[in-house]
Structure 1
Amino acid sequence: MATSDWTLLHNRFYRKVEVYSLLWRDIELSKHLVAAAPLGGPVALVRADPRALSVQAAVAAKPILRVFSAAGKLVSESQCEKGNIVAMAWNSCEQLVCVLETGSVRVVDLWGQLVSHLLLGQDAKDFGVLECRFFGSGLVALTGNLKLILIENYSNSRPVLLADAGISSKPTSWIVVPPQFSSSNQPEVLLAVKSTLLVINAQTVIDQRLQTGPHISIALSPNGRFISLVNTAGKVSVISSDFSKQLAEFNTGTSQPPLQMTWCGSDAVTLHWEDSVVVVGPFGDCIRYAFEGVVHLVSEVDGVRIITNDKCLFLQKVPNSTDEVFKIGSTHPGAILYDAHEHFVRKSPRADENIRSIKADLTLAVDTCLEAAANEFNTTRQKALLKAASFGKCFVNDYDAAKFTNMCETVRILNAVRRFEVGIPLSFAQYCYMTPEVLIGRLAQRHHHSLALNISTFLKLNPSRILVHWACTKIKNAGPGSDTTQLLESIVAQCTTHNPNISFTQIAKTAYQHGNTPLAAKLLDHEPIAANQVPLLMSMDQDDRALTKAIESGDTDLAYAVILHIKRKHNMAEFFRLLKGKPVAMALVETYAKNHHDLQLLKDFYYQDDRKIDMARVFLAESFELKAAGQQVNQQIHKWKESQRLFAESKDCGFEVKALEDHMKLVALQGTLEREIGEMFVGMTVTETVYKLLVLGHANRAAKVKTDLKVPEKRFAWLKVKALVEQRNWDALDKVLSRQIRR
């Protein structure tokens, strides 16, 4: 019967379902340090009995870490870092966090591969770590000098010393409240000291002034709303997480501290003593289960997973839909529909009577049967409930068929992941909490790629993440002598079959990181987005290929990024060698140099391209910059000579050669005038030079400049007139004008 494993706790039923008979053998949990991940996660074991630790210390051996699925199937076995492991737990990404007594924190994946390594700081190193408590993305460690050290994030967080609680002895118990449940929106520590609790964060220590202690065990509910406490007298108290009110009390009748206390969902507290597990309800009632030896409790969002030496059990409050269908004497429409289907199978006329009696509530009845099927672990009852729902929806004209189809898909997925080979005993509530995307990611992490891909296809989700993970795993597991061509064909065929637009960037990056650069380069040829190809090619020192891909993409910014990368990395000769034969790249370099006024790059560019006229113009531009910067004339003359030489080597540049020659002659003449007269002339035009000489009264020198630089007679006469006007020499002006008139 469906109710055979139900037990009444006040007015609600709880059930204990055997999920697995564990595959491991000769495992005694009492001799191991155990860490089990929630949501059907894996179980990690390290020998922790004193004899094993003494042997390890004697031979300086590294402890063996074994990871099992929830069904007891061995996933991996690896050696830990030398030292005594104080505590370990799984983070939200199903990576195992191991804290050593020396203050070293190692984060490893399911396969024992190191993900990150952290240190808890000088206090932990000097005084050691006594205890550790974990939350989703971090941990808090208690050191030998009674300091609390916080690691808020395993990936990029530094240890933070929390406020000093001022305690002189080890606390009787303590927990960490995650930031999403704390009043300060940062991790907080609840520390049991004497009869009260201290709330500690990075800045403050607040005494809640409770009088129910000393507390020997504390646990926070999965929804963060309640806190359960056990004191030395054996009294269990449940209070609100803001400490404003007490909600329940229960006397266990023993002063012996529980080995473990956790929550069964957010409705009941579960306590474990050796040989027994007690479930305490919200009204002070309890259920007691007998067990042989030590077990391990894993709190879930809707219950508690119980791991024994040979079984995996799931204890939960019976879901409402299941209770409404199967409870003895239930008159709920779902129960009547289920009964009607049984009569229909037996061809009893009572089926019609039952359907007629719930005609107005048939939609509710169908929904209840569907939800009850999803909440069932027994496949026979699942089928019966789904058939009852299918039978009932035939009598509803406008029932949403998609609801029925989706629930059937959910049941199939749950049954698939619960199989021994996979070992993820998810309930329906846990599946909804986890979401299908997370489940698919965890299946891929456990190398169940085929199942993950089937579920992804089944739910019409993008399979790219699974395919990429599979391909990366295949590359990592490939031996040194594996056939690169065969591996490439296998990966490309599998990936493009399921998703023609898949990105190969991460796969190629993995191949490169594992020393297979040829495979990485060939994989990038299949990458459809050039912006993903090019950065990785540059990191692989495939600069020529990266430049070609960037140019082919038509993305100017991407091409500039590659060009500048090559320029920074190589000398000029190598830089232009890589650009040679790529006219688009050459044009971009020239444009970049002009827009950014990089004259040296322009000179180098024109030199290697043998463009003498353009190079001569660059020398002229440099001379103008030297003038603006106030440099010596000699430096400018050097630039002009270089420019003149280049113009002279080119055809049809006679004018430029002559103009530069005259300009240099003018500058030389102006330099002489400055030395002889003591006035500034350099930088003036020929006309300005002649005019200034005339104004200063150096008519002979002005005439010499006119002759040397071939100033026209009319211009010279006009300049002479202007100079006389400037000098107010009217008599001389009259003579000049009279002479001009007579001519």
Structure 2
Amino acid sequence: MANVSVAAEWQLLGDRYYRKPELYHPMQWRHIDLSRNKVACAPFGGPVALIRDDSKIVQLYSESALRKLRLFNSAGVSLSDVVWKNTGGRLIGLSWSDDHTLVCIVQDGTVYRYNVHAELIEPNLSILGHYFDENVVECVFWGNGVVCVTDTCKVFAVPDFKTRTVVRLADPPPPPPGELELELELPHCVAVIEPQYTLSGNVEVLLAIRDGVVMVEEDEVQALPVPPGDGPLQKMVVSGNGRFVAAFTHDGRLAVYSTRFEKMFEYQCESALPPEQLAWCGLDSVLLYWDDMLLMVGPSDEPVRYLYDEPIVLVPECDGVRILTNTSMEFLQLVPNSTVSIFKIGSTSPAALLYDALDHFDRRSAKADENLRLIRSSLPEAVEACVDAAGHEFDVSRQRTLLRAASYGQAFCSNFQRDRIQEMCKTLRVLNAVRNPEIGIPLSIQQYKLLTPSVLIGRLINAHRHLLALRISEYLGMNQEVVIMHWACSKITASLAIPDAALLEILLDKLRLCKGISYAAVSAHADKNGRRKLAAMLIEHEPRSSKQVPLLLSIGEEDTALMKATESGDTDLVYLVLFHIWQKKQPLEFFGMIQARMLARDLFITYARCYKHEFLKDFFLSNGQLQEVAFLLWKESWAKGKNPMASRGSPLHGPRIKLIEKAHSLFSETKEHTFESKAAEEHAKLIRMQHELEVTTKQAIFVDSSISDTIRTCIVLGNHRAAMKVKTEFKVSEKRWYWLKVFALATIRDWDALEKFSKEKRPPIGYRPFVEACIEADEKGEALKYIPKLADPRERAEFSGLMITHVKLIIAFIFLCLLAFLCSDWNGQGSC
């Protein structure tokens, strides 16, 4: 009898069975009349939005004068409501986007968006833009987009509400010339082919204008070949896969076309009045709804009729249609093949025999063993059919019976996947949990697989069903961080009356459940909600400095941020904090914060040495590090010397000298830097003298050269008095003086002056430098004057041998030249 009762609920359409199980009855809401409301139902078992239709007559005092936007789950449990205060004219349409945002479009083209808690999402969007004199008369939604038609037949599209981009499509063709029209003809109906199903990747809009259909895109309008006699079309709807168009013609026929309007099927309806609603049921049938009748038409000639004594709303799904009434929610779907094979009246399939064997087994009948023997070869297929059928059932007791039958058959089947039943049990536990009226998400197994568990969990937490979302995540082995973080943020928003310390304990109790959770994100949310103290306490538990430090800066905890950054050893983080504090604090306060932290101080000094000398000098002065300031001044003086304008007696040398003198003054204040003080003093004196020499000689060759080079240059230029002055001023030793003058005179080849200089007195460096200077200048004859004066016999012998060798080479060269000349005369040919 069980099999008969199950199959008796089905309706046969052609060769396929359809069923219409009740998902929720009665609905949890009270005093709701769908016929007086505009209704939007989200797919995949999503929420329901209701708002009074202001075009319908309302009985006086029958309901509140305040017009409310009310949100319910699919079982009619109230989620939230808000008074409708939006201006801009009549509400044209409303629909749910893929992320469960309710989109409402009013007459002037303004788009208002609400979340599932009826909270307005700012900012609003204007579709018509600068077309102030236009009004929206019709809109068609899909996924995350919408197409609007205005009263002047302009077409606008919002391809994605996330990007908020408005696109004006091409204008439909004007009426043929010669036709007398009192007003502009608007489309009879509008349908949309979603971008994911078009070759261009852009939305395509079908407009039924006059007796034909045009396809409107962004850049072009294309007339489609509607079969003669079918137009004008009164209703159109595109199938879920974007391949077919169902349309209701002017003479009461339902026609199914391809998207290029090649007719594939038609059915003559009993009424020429267009239906109130037209929808696809999967891909196999089309539903038409009039006042009290729902007609389901399939490929066969005989349709199925369902009678209703209350208004309904059709909600297309990927595998059927949800039917919402004032008192119930039903799901019209194609009966799965596995279910048909088990419960069809008179079925003898292996799955039906296995299901029957379980019944006999429960009654302890030997017929159970007989059934198993009959299907032994097909037992794996029978077990799989029972598992699959259980997944498609909404009735829990029937799920349990089918899974018991599968488990019973698996015990006698060695080659069936052992975890298949376990996986189905997990899936059904999740589905049954969310189908509970309190949750109100009546997903089928096909919808669940298409939606994915992660998206389902996201929808649960958006609806503040955190406990269920957490249990499902844990049960399916998924990451629980998203759920716990969303709960923590929601708890902070909703717990304004709870003290920070108490709320911190509540949050930590749950946040510790998930390792590696981002305390920084929760802390940022607390700061955004004005709870800075709670944010500071939460961020203390964030183990990742890279997330901790930026948030500490954003909540004004600069000192703590600097401490955490230096403790992490991450120089990038330290620089981030330094630059942040640098911009916000006064210099002295900034210096005080970094002085005690070695890493921060060193990094600041390293950066400032390259880019911020003045600021670094202030830092050193505030700490009493005068010698560091002196070094910076000295470095600046060298930088000025590299200026290409600092030449030929440039006045830039004056500031350089002042900088060096200031450095000398600072060095002299510390006993530890006596050498640096003396060096700076002499450096300033030297640059001053070199500057005077450049002015006198009009040659920019002195400044920044050494004392020795300055003396040498003066001698080369013949300015012996200046050279002597430099020698005296800087107390150059006699030995160095002799070395410099000897080689300078040799450089200008002033051999008489060199000889005179050697005779002034006995040179303190001896005569060897004289000899070497002459030999370097390739004047061996001049060197002969000084070789006999060498005191060391070995040096005299060395240089004498060198001179003899030199003389021998000269004689040999002369001999070879003479020989070559004689040979040339002997044979007259120039060769011996």
> Same fold, TM exceeding 0.5?
yes
Query: What SS is found at the alignment partner of 1:408?
Result: helix
Counterpart amino acid of residue 101 in structure 1: Q
Asked if structure 2 preserves the Cα contact closer than 8 Å seen for 1:248 and 1:284, the reply is no
- Shift in Å at residue 722 of structure 1? 4.1
**Are the equivalent residues in 2 in contact too, given 1:509–1:536 (CA < 8 A)?**
yes
How many aligned positions are there? Answer: 736
Corresponding position of 1:17: 21
CA distance in 1: counterparts of 2:268 and 2:548, whole angstroms = 66
Q: Give distance in 1, aligned partners of 2:335 and 2:723.
A: 114
Q: 1:359 to 1:494 in 2, by over 3 A?
A: same
TM-fit CA distance, 1:739: 4.0
Distance 2:312 2:221 in 1: 35
Comparing 200-209 and 266-275, the one that deviates more:
200-209
For residues 679 and 271 of structure 1, the distance between their equivalents in structure 2, rounded to whole angstroms, comes to 104
Following superposition of structure 1 onto structure 2, how do residues 104-503 of structure 1 map, counting pairs within 5 Å? 104-116=110-122, 117-167=124-174, 168-211=184-227, 212-241=230-259, 243=260, 245-479=262-496, 481-496=497-512, 498-503=513-518
TM-score using structure 1 length = 0.94
What is the distance in 2 between the residues matched to 1:228 and 1:508?
53
Pairwise CA distance, 1:696: 2.8
Q: CA distance change for structure 1 residues 573 and 247 in 2, over 3 Å: closer, same or farther? A: farther
Q: Relative to structure 2, which stretch is displaced further, 430-439 or 129-138? A: 129-138
Q: 1:33-112, aligned counterparts within 5 Å?
A: 33-50=38-55, 63-80=67-84, 81-83=86-88, 84-112=90-118
CA distance in 1: counterparts of 2:553 and 2:586, whole angstroms: 16
CA distance in 1: counterparts of 2:58 and 2:296, whole angstroms: 34
Partner Cα distance (2:56, 2:416) in 1: 65
Question: What's the CA shift string for 1:13-44, capped at 9, x where partnerless?
Answer: 11111111211122121211111000100000
Q: Which residue of 1 aligns with 2:592?
A: 577
Distance, in Å, in 2 between the alignment partners of 1:730 and 1:318 is 121
Counterpart Cα distance in 1 of 2:60 and 2:443: 39
Between 729-738 and 99-108, report the one with greater CA deviation.
Answer: 729-738
Deviations 1:285-320 (A, max 9, x none): 421211224311110010001111221111011111
Q: CA deviation at 1:131?
A: 2.0
2:712 to 685, 691, 700: 691
Q: Which stretch of the first structure deviates more once superposed, 352-361 or 681-690?
A: 681-690
Amino acid in structure 1 at the alignment position of 2:670? S
2:521, 2:748 → 1: CA distance?
83
Mapped partners of 2:46, 2:211: distance in 1:
36
Q: Report the Cα offset of residue 7 of structure 1.
A: 0.4
How far is the alpha carbon of 1:726 from its aligned partner?
4.5
Structure 1 residue matching 2:140: 3-state secondary structure: strand
- Distance in 2 between the 1:129 and 1:576 partners? 63
Confirm or deny: 8 A CA contact 2:11 2:304 kept in the other structure: yes
Shift of residue 194 of structure 1? 2.9
Residues 65, 742 of structure 1: CA spacing in aligned structure 2 closer, same or farther, 3 A cutoff?
closer
3-state SS, counterpart of residue 653 of structure 1: helix
Match of residue 696, structure 2, among 676, 679, 702: 676
Comparing 8-17 and 730-739, the one that deviates more: 730-739
1:573 and 1:150 map into 2 onto residues whose CA distance is 58
Deviations 1:504-547 (A, max 9, x none): 23322221111111111112222232222222222222222222
Q: Structure 1: which amino acid aligns with 2:640?
A: L
2:663 alignment partner in structure 1:
643
The correspondence for 2:550, drawn from 508, 512, 535, is: 535
Q: How much does 1:8 deviate?
A: 0.3
Cα distance in 2 for residues equivalent to 1:577 and 1:119:
53
| Structure 1 match to 2:788 | none
In 1: Cα distance, 2:633 partner to 2:150 partner = 70
Inter-partner Cα distance in structure 2 for 1:111 and 1:321? 40
Separation in 1, partners of 2:143, 2:453? 20
TM-score by length of 2: 0.84
Q: Deviations over 1:448-472 (max 9, x none)?
A: 2222222122212121111112122
What are the Cα deviations for residues 594-618 of structure 1, in whole angstroms up to 9, with x where unaligned? 5x55434543443344333333222
Is the Cα contact below 8 Å between 1:230 and 1:236 reproduced in 2?
yes
Report the Cα distance in structure 1 between the residues aligned to 2:151 and 2:348, rounded to whole angstroms.
61
CA RMSD between the two structures:
2.5
Cα deviation for residue 656 of structure 1 reads: 1.1
1:37–1:43 Cα contact (<8 Å) kept: yes
| Matching of residue 717 in structure 1 with residue 747 in structure 2 | no
160 and 53 in structure 1: CA distance in 2 versus 1, 3 angstrom threshold: farther
Aligned partner (choices 635, 640, 652) of residue 621 of structure 1? 635
SS at match of 1:184: coil
Aligned mates of 1:74, 1:86 — CA distance in 2 = 24
Q: 2:684 is matched by which residue type in structure 1?
A: M
Distance 1:48 1:650, change over 3 A: same
- The amino acid of 2:523's aligned partner reads A
Distance 1:54 1:665 in 2: 106
- How many Å separate the matches in 1 of 2:201 and 2:60? 45
Change (3 A) 1:553 1:176: farther
Bigger shift: residues 312-321 or 123-132: 123-132
Give the secondary-structure state (helix, strand or coil) at the position aligned to 1:2: helix
Between the aligned residues of both structures, percent identity stands at 39
- Alpha-carbon contact 1:149-1:162 (below 8 Å) kept: yes
How far apart, CA to CA, are the structure 2 residues paired with 1:563 and 1:334?
73
- Kept in 2, the 8 Å contact 1:534–1:550? The answer is yes
CA distance in 1, matches of 2:362, 2:745: 129
Report the structure number with the largest CA radius of gyration: 2
Aligned-residue offset at 1:321:
1.3
Which stretches in structure 2 are left out of the alignment for 5+ residues? 175-183, 647-651, 765-832
**2: distance between equivalents of 1:717 and 1:540?**
72
Query: Residues 36 and 56 of structure 2 are in contact (CA less than 8 Å); yes or no, is this contact kept in structure 1?
Result: no
- Secondary structure of the residue aligned to 2:503 is helix
Given the alignment of the two structures, is residue 2 of structure 1 paired with residue 6 of structure 2, yes or no? yes
In structure 2, the CA distance between the partners of 1:523 and 1:679, relative to structure 1 (3 Å rule), is same
Pair 170,507 (structure 1): closer, same or farther in 2 beyond 3 Å: same
Query: How far 1:373 moved relative to its partner?
Result: 1.1
Name the CA distance, whole Å, in 1 between partners of 2:113 and 2:79: 17
What does residue 658 of structure 1 align with?
678
Contact 1:667-1:683 at 8 Å conserved across structures:
yes
Q: Give the secondary-structure state (helix, strand or coil) at the position aligned to 1:453.
A: helix
Against the structure 1 CA distance between its residues 550 and 131, is the aligned structure 2 distance closer, same or farther, given a 3 Å change threshold? farther
Bigger drift between 195-204 and 340-349 goes to 195-204
Following superposition, the deviation at residue 92 of structure 1 comes to 0.6
In the alignment, the residues of structure 2 paired with residue 127 and residue 15 of structure 1 have an alpha-carbon distance, to the nearest angstrom, of 46
How far, CA to CA, are the matches of 1:601 and 1:62 in structure 2? 65
Kept after mapping to 1: 8 A contact 2:323/2:331: yes
Cα separation, 2, equivalents of 1:54 and 1:132: 29
Q: 1:284 & 1:196 partners in 2: Cα distance?
A: 26
Give the aligned residue type for 2:613. L
CA distance in structure 2 between the aligned counterparts of 1:186 and 1:711, rounded to whole angstroms = 88
Give me the whole-angstrom Cα distance separating, in 1, the residues matched to 2:130 and 2:288. 34
SS at match of 1:247: strand
Equivalent of 1:599, from 613, 625, 628?
A: 613
Aligned to 2:624: 610
Corresponding position of 1:733? 754
Residues 434 and 675 (structure 1), Cα distance of their counterparts in 2 relative to 1, 3 Å cut:
same
